[in-house]
Amino acid sequence: MPVQERPRRKYAPRLSREARRAQLLDTALDVLASCELHELAMETVAAAAGIAKPVLYTVFRTRAELVGELLHREHQRGIAQISATLPTDLTTLGPAEAYIASITAFLQAVLANPTRWRLILTVPDSAPRAYRDSLRRTRSAILAQAEDLARAGTALMPQLADVDPHLLAHTLLSFAEMLGRLAVRHPDTYPRERLEKFAASLMGLLGRTTAEVHSAR
């Protein structure tokens, strides 16, 4: 009776250490699209990447190392996306239109990378302290940039002359964060178009209201 050959096990293609590291980080991010950070398991990442778990441990010695590097990478990529959305010149569009354009670009970035922005905007309870501290430092830096833009904006709009630039920056940044959270948490209820329309309406209302107050004095 002929002996049946056992099917050969499929092995993952050989990759350089850096290529494997990038692949595993990408895979971990994909896995997180359907689970919370504290649920991320090394076994799941290895299976999704099509490799044996020991191979994963040759790249990341512990789960904490994998999570820490993933959060750091996504945070850095998020910073780059934010930097690209901030206006550099308010004179062409005007402060209100520039802010709306920034909100639009920000929401596009959030919805293009919802898992990344969920990790940034809705910080998991299980996130390492170093990651939380890094997020706070980054937010403070963005707030400082927003305050500079708010000062420039109030200088261009006489009706905003009495508005505190520091509080305005806090308000606009918090508003953008709120829209981002709604976009990643409830994308069906709050599609991008709905959020953009609301932001434009609110900025228009703010401009009209402050103009009326200014002219009444």
Return per-residue pLDDT of the chain as tens, 217 residues.
555 555 554 555 677 889 999 999 999 999 999 999 999 999 999 999 999 999 999 999 999 999 999 999 999 999 999 999 999 889 998 998 999 999 999 999 999 999 999 999 999 999 999 999 999 999 999 999 999 999 999 999 888 888 999 999 999 999 999 999 999 999 999 999 999 999 999 888 866 655 454 455 5
Rounded CA-CA distance 159/214 in Å is: 5
Residues of the chain with CATH 1.10.357.10: 71-215
Give the architecture-level CATH label for domain 11-61.
Orthogonal Bundle (1.10)
What is the total residue count of the chain?
217
Q: What is the pLDDT of residue 88?
A: 87
| CA torsion angle 171 176 178 181 (round to 10) | -160
Class level of CATH domain 71-215: mainly alpha
Question: pTM for the full model?
Answer: 0.85
Residues of the chain with CATH 1.10.10.60: 11-61
CA nearest neighbour of 122 among 78, 166, 171: 78
CA nearest neighbour of 55 among 67, 40, 43, 68: 43
> H/E/C letters for each residue in 143-175?
HHHHHHHHHHHHHHCHHHCCCCHHHHHHHHHHH
